[in-house]
């Protein structure tokens, strides 16, 4: 019996498995933003962005304390956005060899401490500033948002600690 021409009997080699990374799509967890962790990450992102926008719209570079506030605000805003996207897309499930609970705990604790220092420096700058300056109102508002962001990171630290402690007890 003859084979029809034009039909290939070649089979492709099996695709290798890379630790559950064989799928090319990311899952979107639509319920993540309704959890306490998701809401805190969202508030940290918005308030942190308001801190660096309010400070960045002034002549902050003349005051070294406000340069520190900008550094902390921008650094942790970027890290928080990355962590938020990681949890929102379920990427943390696809890369299981990264200790996400420990990473989240370290990020939140360091953000709490550094934001507290930045918020205090921001408040000191506002108290020493001339009330007639245009920048005064922006710095005062950024101080409020910096303290609010600090509280959110403290709450995230608390949640991260409990998640980390639970995972440590399971092992």
- From 11-20, 69-78, 137-146, the region with the lowest mean pLDDT: 11-20
Of the pLDDT bands very low, low, confident and very high (cuts 50, 70, 90), residue 29 is confident
Digit-coded pLDDT (tens) for 96-139: 999 999 999 999 999 999 999 999 999 998 887 777 677 888 99
In a domain, 55, yes or no: yes
Distance CA 107, CA 71 (A): 15
pLDDT at 11: 47
In a domain, 64, yes or no: yes
> Nearest Cα to 47, choosing from 127, 132, 134, 122?
122
In a domain, residue 27? The reply is no
Q: Using one digit for the tens of pLDDT, what is the confidence trace for 124-136?
A: 988 877 776 778 8
Give the model's pLDDT for residue 21: 46
Q: Is residue 45 part of a domain?
A: yes
Q: Which of 8-22, 43-57, 72-86 has the lowest mean pLDDT?
A: 8-22
Residue 25 lies in a domain: no
In a domain, 124, yes or no: yes
Percent of the chain topping pLDDT 90: 59
Q: What are the phi and psi torsion angles at 35 (to 5°)?
A: -85, 165
Number of domains in the chain: 1
With respect to residue 16, please indicate whether it lies within any of the assigned structural domains.
Answer: no
User: Smallest Cα–Cα separation from 87: which of 148, 164, 26?
Assistant: 26
pLDDT at 81 over 80: yes
> Residue 87 belongs to what domain range?
32-170
User: pTM of the prediction?
Assistant: 0.80
The mean of the pLDDT values for the chain is 85
Residue 128 belongs to some domain of the structure: yes
């Amino acid at each position: 019996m003859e084979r029809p021409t034009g039909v290939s009997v070649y089979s492709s080699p099996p695709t290798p498995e890379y630790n559950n990374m064989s799928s090319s799509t990311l899952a979107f967890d639509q319920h993540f933003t309704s959890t306490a962790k998701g809401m805190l990450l969202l508030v940290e992102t918005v308030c942190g962005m308001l801190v660096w926008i309010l400070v960045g719209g002034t002549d902050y570079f003349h005051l070294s304390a406000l340069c520190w506030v900008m550094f902390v605000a921008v650094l942790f805003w970027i890290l928080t956005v990355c962590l938020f996207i990681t949890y929102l897309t379920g990427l943390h499930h696809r890369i299981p060899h990264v200790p996400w609970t420990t990473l989240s705990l370290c990020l939140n604790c360091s953000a709490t401490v550094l934001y507290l220092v930045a918020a205090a420096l921001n408040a000191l700058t506002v108290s020493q500033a001339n009330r007639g300056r245009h920048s005064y109102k922006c710095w005062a508002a950024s101080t409020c948002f910096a303290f609010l962001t600090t509280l959110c990171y403290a709450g995230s630290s608390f949640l991260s600690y409990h998640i980390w402690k639970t995972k440590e007890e399971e092992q």
